Amino acid sequence: MTDTDASPGPVGIVEVAALAGVSPATVSRALRGIPGVSTATRQLVQKAAADLGYVASPQASALARGRTSAIGVLAPWISRWFFTAVIEGAQDVVTARGYDLLLYPLGANAGPDAQPVDTRGLHKRVDGVLGLNVPVTMRPATLKTLAAPLVTVGSTIPGVPGVRVDDQLVGYLAARHLIDLGHRRIAFLGLDPDDMYGFTVARDRHTGYCRALAEAGLPTHPADVEITGFAVEAGEAALEHQLAIADWDPAALPTAIVAVSDEVAMGVLYAARHRGIRVPQDLSVVGVDNHDLSHLFDLTTVGQPVRQQGAIAAQMLLDLIDGRGVGGGEPVRLLEPGLVVRNTTAPPRAH
């Protein structure tokens, strides 16, 4: 395995061709595993390429083939654990197939007054797009001008293939767990700020929560449902707000809380601790995600396979790019969530 190229000039396909004593066309064919090249020639070329340390220019290749060998990740931002975990899952798959991953964080553009994302020309950069909780503001016209296959992870867009966890089941499992423990007044902290992102996630989880309550014959109290988004701070604020509504009497709080994400749950735990509310004795809390750090809080949560969603979505996207439709079935793959019981849930205090 020779690993040096002392050649000063950049090595292109012609250099390899010269060394191997064949034409550039043959080099191209040989190196890409295209049939119609004798085994002997192929090996000869491969050796020459290796000796020279040749790697085809992605730009030139892209220009000639009309393919970029890159896929883009569209996400509101990336510093939330969920997104990076999905990206890692996707990365493995696309890398193995020779694709690069481009980051397109929407940043400020994910907010309520987001500009319609300019996706024109995106298809010139990437062969496909992975949309992580793509905001509603993207849908109207921009998606049409995207002109590249799109697969979503998390929040779903009608008519667009995607991967997500069964969010209604998520909400159901969380609420059901609390009901089974004996709770009868359960809050849901986690509706989306009005149309902020257009996530279907929060709404679906709320729906599942409502179903569990209904099944158990429990009433739903409007004040027990809060709009939070997914951030830690929102969880803190929501518990404070609940306290305020309860006239600062902890005993008047719901006895249990379903948080839309582990981050929100962490915020709730934090606020509870600082208010002297004991978890789980005074208040039970369930999160969602099984965040990498959730075990540090002994947080009971409804886990979802995050990296796996990224991997599956990437696979679907690559298949789409290759013309293979999403493997004959539903366009949206639903994964199963699973309850992870730790220590932030317990039966309610006896009155």
Among 34, 43, 53, 349, binds its own copies (CB under 8 A): 53
Among the candidate windows 55-63, 92-100, 207-215, 230-238, which touches DNA by CB under 7 A? Answer: 55-63
**Which residues lie across from 105 on neighbouring strands?**
75
Among the candidate windows 16-24, 49-57, 187-195, 217-225, which touches its own copies by CB under 8 A? Answer: 49-57
Q: Measured between alpha carbons, how far is 321 from 127 in angstroms, rounded to an integer?
A: 7
- Beta strands 225-227 and 284-289 are unpaired
The item of its own copies, DNA, none sharing an interface with residue 134, based on CB under 5 to 8 Å by kind, is none
- Beta strands 338-340 and 300-303 are antiparallel
Give the residue with the Cβ less far from DNA, 322 or 336. Answer: 322
Residue linked to tokens 């892209």: 62
Applying the rule CB under 8 A, the residues between 144 and 203 that interact with its own copies are 145
Tokens of residue 323, six digits = 């013309």
Applying the rule CB under 8 A, the residues between 77 and 96 that interact with its own copies are 77-79, 81, 84-85, 87-88, 91-92
Q: Measured between alpha carbons, how far is 92 from 14 in angstroms, rounded to an integer?
A: 32
**Which residues lie across from 191 on neighbouring strands?**
227
Count of residues that interact with DNA, criterion CB under 7 A = 32
The residue type of 190 is G
Q: Is residue 37 involved in binding DNA (CB under 7 A)?
A: yes
- Annotate 286-320 with DSSP letters as a single string: EEEE--TTGGGGT-EEEE--HHHHHHHHHHHHHHH
Q: Is residue 43 involved in binding DNA (CB under 7 A)?
A: no
Q: Measured between alpha carbons, how far is 296 from 237 in angstroms, rounded to an integer?
A: 21
The item of its own copies, DNA, none sharing an interface with residue 175, based on CB under 5 to 8 Å by kind, is none
Q: Is residue 270 involved in binding its own copies (CB under 8 A)?
A: yes
Residue linked to tokens 């988004």: 229
Give the residue with the Cβ less far from its own copies, 221 or 273. Answer: 273
Q: Measured between alpha carbons, how far is 295 from 220 in angstroms, rounded to an integer?
A: 30
Q: Is residue 41 involved in binding DNA (CB under 7 A)?
A: yes
By the 8 A CB rule, do 213 and 176 touch?
A: no
Long-range contacts of 62-69 (CB under 8 A, 24+ apart): 67/127, 68/124, 68/125, 68/126, 68/127, 69/98, 69/99, 69/100, 69/127
Among 7, 38, 95, 281, binds DNA (CB under 7 A): 38
Binding track over 296-315 against its own copies, x by CB under 8 A: xx------------------
Binding track over 58-97 against DNA, x by CB under 7 A: --xx-xxxx-------------------------------
Shortest gap between Cβ of 60 and its own copies (angstroms)? 6
Interaction site with DNA (CB under 7 A)? 10, 12-14, 21-29, 31-32, 34-38, 40-42, 54, 56-57, 60-61, 63-66
Interaction site with its own copies (CB under 8 A)? 3, 5, 53, 55-60, 62-63, 68, 70, 77-79, 81, 84-85, 87-88, 91-92, 100-103, 105, 107, 120-121, 124-125, 141, 145, 232, 266-267, 269-270, 292-293, 295-297
